[in-house]
Chain A
């Protein structure tokens, strides 16, 4: 359709002025957008309050969708069970995958026990989850990887807490609203998790990559000991995540580490548990250190 001819007549002063005003307001809108963008890149938490308020208001929609997803699964399974042997096979395979992860974690725990026995007194209790929540959505069209969960400060969730699924680590809480929170997934490119190989103590960082995989960067450079299929678990360094939560499986070995697949695919996760910050003191210290600048090498 052709646009209405708003600038056809040169005698209609009013029409011309309203066109001019339209451009002015639109340009002002773009300028406001640019200013807001600079502010929120500089101070990411500037509009967190507004954002959590709105996502709190919209959370019931997401929750309804998420419950339809879990409820619908059993409903369709009941009908489709007769001719969907493939999906059952997939479910069994997933079960086996969980078992394999648990095995790797158990192996990691065994080593952890050995180490703890060596240094008695430095034992960390098993973290008790703060809350259980549903993953109600994710920023599926943005280059950033955030997810929304259906628990907030009313359930005791605070920023920086770890979000864990039965399969492994999912991410950490970024902004907590009243009844919903925003989670930074492991695959976000700003996410970095200290990990170690489950069977020994090869330490590395797991960084998110844009395409939904993780890049493992070894801390001790040298001969790359990683083999395809190695399972990596959190090391507990930094104090944010408790140790021995499954994170990734190495897929492609690179020069300085590996490209790894995330073990707990958030797409296949219904419920997640939110665990408290493992070592609050360590995290607080890390945050104070650069600001005070008193701690020398």
Chain B
């Protein structure tokens, strides 16, 4: 008698490998949707007296870009930044500029250091977050003095600490993104 085959043999973490394929909508929609939703954090019922909440859209963009190179096009900073500017309180254009520069910068970095571990990604993210927070504060139209940089410190530390969490959320979303849900006819 032939042994029944293992029911998990033709499955992997993303579902059945027979007659199923990734859905293009999920595979490309999830990253875009998650970053756009990250831009809506100002609508959370958190009324902050000082800037403390990490720039979630930017961190999600960083996490997606560092984890999945080539998934987001190089020009994605333009639409993401424009949408972020509509809610973030920054003057319109600051997000467009900073998001675009970030994506170009990571692209150049990818050319130089193609293989990285998470620790290196984290260090890159820390550097980029520091630059982003300072530049965003500089162009925000707020009065620039020493106080401003003191006030940014809690937000910066919170962003650093939260980046692994955001990266973990992105990797969970990545698993959702690659689920084989499309039935092949």
Contacts and interface: CB of A to CB of B under 8 A. Distances in A.
A10 to B, nearest CB: 15
A55 B87 contact: yes
B61 to A, nearest CB: 13
Nearest to B79: A29
B3 interface: no
Interface residues of B, number: 64
A140 B68 CA distance: 28
B33 to A, nearest CB: 14
B12 interface: no
A256 B5 CA distance: 84
Contacts of A46: 92
Q: Is the interface of B mostly helix, strand, loop or mixed?
A: helix
B93 A3 contact: no
A273 interface: no
A293 B163 CA distance: 53
A143 B151 CA distance: 9
B49 A187 contact: yes
B41 to A, nearest CB: 7
Interface stretch (A19-27, A152-160, A216-224, A283-291): A19-27
Category for how many chain A residues contact B: 35 or more
Contact of B143 (A7, A61, A146, A190): A190
B47 A147 contact: yes
A60 to B, nearest CB: 10
Interface in B147-180: 147-148, 150-152, 155
Nearest to A30: B100
22 contacts: A1-B67, A2-B114, A6-B70, A25-B73, A26-B75, A26-B103, A27-B100, A30-B96, A32-B78, A32-B96, A33-B81, A33-B93, A37-B139, A41-B141, A54-B86, A68-B45, A137-B42, A137-B45, A137-B46, A145-B49, A189-B143, A211-B147
Interface of A: 1-4, 6-7, 22-23, 25-30, 32-41, 44, 46-47, 50-51, 54-55, 58-59, 61-62, 65-66, 68-69, 135-148, 185, 187-190, 209-212, 262, 265-267, 269
Given A30-B96, A37-B92, 6 more contacts: A4-B70, A28-B75, A32-B93, A139-B89, A145-B89, A188-B142
